[in-house]
Chains A and B, each alone.
Chain A
Amino acid sequence: MTVRCFKINPADNVATLLADADIGPVEVRGGGERTTSITLSSPIELGHKVALTNIAGGEAVIKFGVPIGTASQPISPGQWVHLHNCRSNFDARSGSLDLHTGATTDTKYD
């Protein structure tokens, strides 16, 4: 278990991956707490987020100790948190973007 993720603030319910990680356990550091571990339910890339707790639909996703969005569906610990299950409280378009590339799906090219 060499891959780590980092929890920035004790109040956070997500942590950020410090390297690409496959399904399985990764170390959780930071948050001013002792090192724990979380089991990823899907591969997650460097810089992306993993849920550390159950987050109910409609509940705030917390990173840096502040709400960075709202869960658009229930999220379980170990799940990848991104466009498919977390929406912005400002930017309505973000929910329609391609999950992997972030490209828009509502712009016509032809």
Chain B
Amino acid sequence: MTDPLNLAWSGYLRDDGRKGVRNTVLIIYTVECACHVAHAIANGEDGVHVIGFPGCYDNQYAIRLILSLARHPNVGAVLAVGLGCEYTQPAKIADVALKSGRPAASFFIQDVGGTRSSVERGKAILADLRRTIDRDTPRAAMGFGDLTIGCECGGSDGTSGFVGNPVVGTFFDRLIDNGGTAICEEIVEMIGLKDIILDRAATPQARTQLEFAYDKAVRYCQQVRQYSVSPGNFAGGLTTIEEKSMGAFAKSGSQPIQGVIKVGQQPPWAGLWIMDSVPDDHFMGFGYTNPNDTEGIMDLISGGSQVVMFVTGRGSVIGSPVAPLIKVTGNSRTFERMAEDMDFDAGRVLAGQISLDGAATELGEMVASVASGQPSKPEALGHREYFVMYKHQDEPTQKRDCKK
């Protein structure tokens, strides 16, 4: 059998050297008041995704997140739409996209007129952006060494830690052996596993970063008196956050952890990275860590993941903008019940129909197929859920390209 990790396909080359698996036009609205117009502009258009920030007051964390998506390797062009009175500035977002080599435009609805005239203006800009990137975006061969893949789990049950996450972990081990990058998030789902996590650190610096992030997560959960475990998790057989953590951590595979990145930050070099999405200590202390699965998936995309895995034992019907989502379940019953939404049945490992390695190989083939343009199930269904929230995180300090 051919190792799927030797597969290559054609990607979209960006000015910073990263390669995308899609050439999406991203519409970004800068306040809830512009939300309807932004979606109306995208309505009926292929390859156009919408994200936005609801608040009128701006937030540095949210802006970092939005800019990381505006410069994401899967994004070819950007249209930023604001109402006109909010703090977040569409023109500045478009500027950042332009500087990154992407065609971009912006306008305020109040300057153009009302709903219909703004939608018309937006559609005209879209057509222009699409023509430009279809003509000008260079294509380049890409393989697993060019991929960053994030993994999130949600709606976990007793099968998630058993096979769903271990299949992804086994695939991640091979991805990293082939020069690729994996990002796991959900430090709040590592609670109870401090020693196990610290022992995976690649370097003393990585160990220090992991310890800091772990202690912060425990402190935060204690303060808000809320742990990352839900009624569906309990009903699915998970009894405590520690048990869920152990299952969730299985998605990280067995490679050494290079360090901790924050939301909106690219891994500085290849390998396995942990993303810290927990708010930093701040005078107001608001903002829950990961209020829902979509928020966690957005975080992983902000780290440059071109494809994201979502492991769900209970089943889920979400998707994501910018990076295609591949839904994996370790529960074959869930797979059968929700076959229209689930991409991959890892429950076959439990039934003895396939080995863990065999399942990881199949998953690798699926990733290559999605990366080469085949839509994942949520993508084909049109799921583009997004969530950008107020949160406080200090400026990330780790710089790109400065390994050790």
Contact = CB atoms under 8 A, between A and B. Distances in A.
Interface of A: 6, 8, 16-18, 45-49, 61, 63-64, 66-69, 81-83, 86-94, 97-98, 100-104
A38 B356 CA distance: 26
Contacts of B241: 88, 90-91, 94
Interface stretch (B19-27, B189-197, B265-273): B189-197
Contacts of B235: 100-102
Interface string B151-168: 000000111011000000
B243 interface: yes
Contacts of A91: 221, 227, 229, 240-241
20 contacts: A6-B162, A18-B350, A46-B158, A47-B157, A47-B159, A63-B243, A64-B243, A66-B193, A66-B246, A67-B192, A67-B242, A68-B243, A83-B239, A93-B225, A94-B227, A94-B234, A94-B241, A97-B234, A102-B234, A103-B231
Contacts of B233: 102
Nearest to A94: B240
Interface string B186-207: 0000011100100000000000
A66 B196 contact: yes
Given A18-B350, A67-B242, A88-B240, 13 more contacts: A16-B158, A46-B333, A49-B158, A64-B243, A82-B234, A82-B239, A83-B234, A88-B227, A89-B240, A93-B227, A94-B234, A102-B234, A103-B231
B313 A101 contact: no
Majority SS of interface residues in chain A? loop
Nearest to A100: B235
A100 B234 CA distance: 8
Given A47-B313, A90-B227, A97-B234, A16 B239 contact: no
B250 to A, nearest CB: 8
A45 B237 contact: yes
Nearest to A20: B333
Interface pairs A-B: 7 shortest CB-CB: A47-B158, A102-B234, A47-B237, A102-B231, A48-B237, A88-B240, A68-B243
Nearest to A66: B246
A69 B221 contact: no
Q: Which of A8, A46, A86 has the most CB of B within 10 A?
A: A46
Contact of A94 (B158, B229, B232): B229
B331 interface: yes
Q: Which of B157, B191, B192, B221 has the most CB of A within 10 A?
A: B192
Query: Interface extent on B, as a size class?
Result: 35 or more
B263 to A, nearest CB: 24
B165 to A, nearest CB: 11
B55 interface: no
B117 interface: no
B231 A97 contact: yes
Contacts of A68: 192, 239-240, 242-243, 246
Contacts of A87: 240
Given A16-B162, A46-B237, A66-B193, A88 B331 contact: no
Contacts of B237: 16-17, 45-49, 82
A97 B242 CA distance: 16
B232 A86 contact: no
Contacts of A46: 157-159, 237, 331, 333
A23 B328 CA distance: 31
Contacts of B54: none
A88 B333 CA distance: 28
